[in-house]
Chains A and B, each alone.
Chain A
Amino acid sequence: MTNSNQIADSEKTAAFNATQMGVLNVLLDLLLPASPDGRMPAARSLDLFADLKHLPLKDRTLFESGLSELEARARQDQGTGFAQLPIGEAQNLVDALRLDSATFIKTFMTQAVGRYLAHEVVMPLIGLEARPHWPTGHTVKDGDWSLLNVVKLRPKIYRNV
C-alpha cells in the first residue's frame, strides 16, 4: 500500500549553503535571540535548519530566493554581506523585505518558530514534555459537571415545527 502521507520523505533535501546559512542565522538572531534572563536559548544555537525535512520544496525555493535577496540588498546598499551588518541595519533590510516579500518572511517565521518550539531543549522550558503527543497522550481533567445542573433546569429551547 502506498501512502500519500509519505510525501514529506521525498522532499528531504540538504541544508542551505554557507552564505544562505549566514543570512539565516542573522534572521534567527533578530526573531528569536536568547531571553534576557538566559532561560530561553537563542534559536541560532539549536541548529534548527540542519535537516530540511518537512520544508516543502516550494518553501525551500522561497527560502533560497529570500535569503539571496537579503544578501544582494546588503551588498548593494552597504557594500558588505548581510551577516556582517550591524544588527540595526540588518533589521532595516528585513523590514523593507517584509513589505516586498511578505510571503518569504511569513514562511521564515513559521518554519523558525515551529522548529524552535518543537525542539527537545525548548519544549520543557514552555511547560511541555519533550515527546510527541502519541502514543502516550495527555491527561485532561474530566471537569466539574455540576456546572451543568443549572442548564438542565432550562425548558427546551428548540422550536417545534
Chain B
Amino acid sequence: MTNDPVDVLIIGAGASGAAFAWSMADTRMRILCLEQGDWMNPAQYPSTGLDGELRQLSEFSFDPNVRNRPADYPVNNTESPISIANFNAVGGSTILYAAHFPRFHPSDFKVMSCDGVADDWPIDYQTLEPYFALNDRMMGISGLAGDPAYPAHELPLPPVPLGASGETMARGFNKLGWHWWPSDSAIITRPYQGRDRCLNLGPCTSGCAQGAKGSTDISYWPEAIRRGVKLRSRCRVREVTVDAEGLANGAIYYDADGVEHFQPAEVVVLACNGIGTPRLMLNSKSTRFPNGLANNNDQVGRNLMLHPYAWVMGTFRERLDGQFGPSGCCIWSQEFYETDRSRGFVRGYTMEIVRGRGPLVTAINGLGSGQIPWGAGFHQAFGQLFAHTTGMVVICEDLPEPHNRVTLDEHLTDSNGIPAPKINYTLSQNSLRMLDHAVARSTEVLTAAGAISMQSEAPWKAAGWHNMGTARMGTDPAKSVVNEWGRAHEVHNLFIIDGSIFTTSAGVNPTSTIQALALYIADSMKERLANLFD
C-alpha cells in the first residue's frame, strides 16, 4: 500500500523527533512522524495503584527484553557488560527517563583540543546555547542559576526540593569542600504552561501520572500537532528506501495490523535513538548501499558510547525521605568533571544524588546482597534499610571506540520479522579507572554525610539508558556519518537528529543536548531550504 507523499518524514516520536517536528512546523510543509509505539495513558501509570513497584519491574521496566511490549524490539546484550534501556511510545524514552536535564559543557564539545583524545565536535557550546534555552522553556526545566560548573544560564522554574536526602548529602559535600548544586530537572515545580506541579510521587522512571515530568508526549507533541504535524503511532519502519540517484525517497513500514505500507517522502529524518537509528540504517540495504543506508564508509553503528554508571548507596541511622520526591533528581556534584590527569584518567564524571528507593526495590536489593535474610529476620533487617538509604549514581564519560558497535543479530527479530540489534561493547581502561575513582569518592562523601554502611555496583549493568555516537557528526566523510548540521554525508536528503550523532558523550545525561541539537538542525535546514541537498 502506497500512502500520499509528504515533504518531511520523521521516524521516531521521542525526545528529538518531537522537538524537531515542533520546530519544522514553522515551514508549513507536509510533515509526518511514524512511531512504532503508542500514545500512553498517564491514568494507567504505576503510581496510580498500590502495585506500582511490581509493575515498574515488569511492564514498565526500562529493559525492553523484560518489558516485552508489542511496541518493543529485542536487543541482544550478551556481548556487553551494560544492557540497553529504552522505551517505545509517543514520547520515547522520555516516558521513563528520570528527567535529569544537565547541558553539555563547553569542554565537552572540544575533547581532542582540551585533552588530546577522541575528537572535537564540528560545533560548539555557543552554537547550541540558544537552543538549550529554547528547549528549557519548551520542556519546563527547573533549577537554580549560578552553578559554578556551568556558563551562566537561567531556568524557567525553581529547583526541586532538597528533602532530607538532599540535605544529608549536601552536608557531606560541604564537609569535604566539594561542589554540589541543585539539579536541572525536567520537572515542573510550579504550574507551568497548562501543566500542574510535581507532587513527589516517588519514582519518575515509570511515567508521571501527574504530567509534571517533561516527557515529549505532553510537552512538544500537543503543540506540534496543533500546528499541523501528523503523527501515526503503532507504525514500525522496516527500511528507508533510496532512488536510482542514491537519495532517500521514503520508508516501508508495518502498521499495527502488520499491513505493509510505503510512505514516499522528499526528506527523511531519523530520530530512533543511538540503537534504533543504526539498526534501521543497517536494515536499509540497497544496490547503492549494500552495507546499509549511508554506510559505504562502514561507520554506521560504530563508536557506540553508553555512559558507564556506578551505583553507590549508603545506609543511615536516621530516617530519610528518599522513597518520595522526584527520585532521580535532587542535587549533583561536578567536583570531578573536568580532566585532572593526576587521577589516572582523562575526562570525568557527574555524581547525581538519587534520593532513595521504594520498599520493594529496597527489599530486593537487600535480599540480593545478603543484608536482608529470608525468615523471621526479614522484618528487622528491612526496617533498618527502608527509608534509611540515600546515595548516588555516577555518570562517567565514555570515549568513542570503533569496536564498540551496533550490528544486526543473525537470528533475533522483532514481531514483524525485522532483524534486532546486537551490541558489542567493552569498557576501556580509562572507563575502568574512572569507575574505580568514582566509587571511592562516592564512598568518601557518603561517609562524610554519616552513612554507616555502603553498597555499590560498577559498572551498573542495567544502566544502558544513554545510547550515543553510532552515526556520529564530523567534517570528515571517511570517519563520520553526518555533517555539522545533521545531514548524511552519503545521502543528501537524509538527516539524523538523535543521540547517534554525538561525537563524544560528555559525563552527563544527554537529553537536553539531544533536543538542543534537534532544534539546531531544524533551524539549519530552514535556513537552507533553497539548496538543502547541494
Question: B-contacting residues of A (Cβ < 8 Å)?
Answer: 1-8, 30-36, 39-40, 53-54, 56, 58-59, 109-111, 113-115, 117-120, 123, 126-128, 130-145, 147-148, 150-152, 154-161
Contact = CB atoms under 8 A, between A and B. Distances in A.
Given A110-B360, A118-B53, A138 B199 contact: yes
B430 interface: no
A136 B209 CA distance: 11
Interface residues of B, number: 88
B181 A115 contact: no
Contact of A148 (B60, B70, B181, B198): B181
Contact of A158 (B40, B161, B338): B338
Contact of A36 (B173, B376, B383): B376
Contacts of A34: 376
Interface string B86-106: 000100000000000000011
Contacts of B70: 4, 7
Closest 3 A/B residue pairs (Cβ): A137-B199, A143-B162, A138-B324
- What DSSP secondary structure best describes chain B's contact surface? loop
B325 A113 contact: no
7 contacts: A32-B378, A110-B364, A117-B360, A128-B359, A137-B198, A158-B151, A159-B338
Contacts of B207: 5
Contacts of B44: 3, 5-6
Contact of A110 (B45, B57, B106, B109): B57
A50 to B, nearest CB: 13
B50 interface: yes
Interface in B49-83: 49-55, 57-60, 68-71
Contacts of A7: 59, 69-70
Nearest to A42: B376
B230 interface: no
Interface in B3-27: none
Interface in B369-406: 374-376, 378-380, 382-383, 386-387
- What DSSP secondary structure best describes chain A's contact surface? loop
Contacts of A39: 379
B150 interface: yes
Given A54-B51, A54-B54, A118-B51, A161 B109 contact: yes
B132 to A, nearest CB: 14
B156 interface: no
A41 B378 CA distance: 12
A158 B166 contact: no
Contacts of B52: 118, 132-133
Interface in B280-332: 319, 321, 323-325
Given A6-B44, A30-B375, A113 B360 contact: yes
Contacts of B324: 133, 138-140
A100 B299 CA distance: 43
Task: Tell which of A120, A123, A130, A156 has the most Cβ of chain B within 10 Å.
Answer: A156
Nearest to B234: A2
A134 B204 CA distance: 12
Interface string B173-214: 110000111100000000000000011111000010110000
B465 to A, nearest CB: 20
A33 B163 contact: no
A118 B124 contact: no
B110 interface: yes
B225 to A, nearest CB: 13
Contact of B201 (A120, A133, A143): A133
Task: Tell which of B37, B107, B207, B375 has the most Cβ of chain A within 10 Å.
Answer: B375
A107 to B, nearest CB: 10
Given A118-B360, A128-B359, A151-B181, 16 more contacts: A1-B38, A1-B39, A3-B38, A3-B40, A7-B70, A32-B378, A117-B360, A123-B50, A133-B47, A135-B199, A139-B200, A140-B163, A143-B162, A143-B170, A158-B148, A158-B150
A137 B201 contact: yes
A127 B378 CA distance: 16
Given A4-B71, A126-B383, A143-B167, A110 B54 contact: yes
Interface string B356-367: 000110011001
B337 A114 contact: no
B495 to A, nearest CB: 27
B50 A143 contact: no
B105 A159 contact: yes
A132 B200 contact: no
B426 interface: no
A140 B107 contact: no
B380 A35 contact: yes
Contact of A4 (B89, B335, B359): B89
A157 B337 CA distance: 9
B376 A161 contact: no
Contact of B375 (A31, A135, A136): A31
B334 A157 contact: yes
B386 A151 contact: no
Contact of A151 (B40, B148, B171, B378): B148
Contacts of B45: 5, 134
A118 B50 CA distance: 6
B48 interface: yes
A5 B324 CA distance: 23
A56 B59 contact: yes
Contacts of B335: 157
Given A4-B89, A137-B201, A138-B325, A113 B367 contact: yes
A118 B109 contact: no
B149 A157 contact: yes
Contacts of A132: 47-50, 52
B113 A8 contact: no
